[in-house]
């Protein structure tokens, strides 16, 4: 009686293990791609993009 349940549980366990292995491989590929192709360095325009306007400037909303 317990053999069927053990077999089902082991099958589900193998499926979960395969899912985790696939996620790990995808993460490794992502990291290796990031190492081989680093993002571009931020420019001065990128630095100014997040700044708020000077206090005496009128901003239309």
Question: Quick one: pLDDT at residue 52?
Answer: 66
* pLDDT-based confidence at residue 60 (cuts at 50, 70, 90): low
**Residue 50 to residue 45: CA distance in whole angstroms:** 9
4-48 tens-digit pLDDT: 677 678 888 889 899 999 999 999 998 888 877 776 776 666 555
| Distance between CA atoms of residues 25 and 18, nearest Å | 11
The torsion of the CA quartet 57, 60, 49, 55, rounded to 10 degrees, works out to 20
The confidence score (pLDDT) of residue 28 equals 93
Looking at per-residue pLDDT, the higher value among 25 and 2 belongs to 25
Question: What residue segments make up the domains of the chain, in order of their start?
Answer: 2-40
| DSSP designation for 20 | H
Tokens coding 59? 């901003």
Q: What is the model's pLDDT at position 27?
A: 93
Alpha-carbon distance 18 to 52, whole Å?
A: 48
């Amino acid at each position: 009686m317990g053999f069927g349940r053990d077999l089902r549980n082991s099958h589900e366990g193998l499926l979960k293990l395969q899912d985790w292995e696939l996620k790990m491989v995808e993460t490794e590929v992502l990291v290796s791609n990031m190492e081989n192709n680093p993002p571009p360095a931020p420019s001065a325009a990128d630095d100014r993009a997040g700044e708020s306007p000077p206090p005496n400037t009128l901003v239309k909303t």
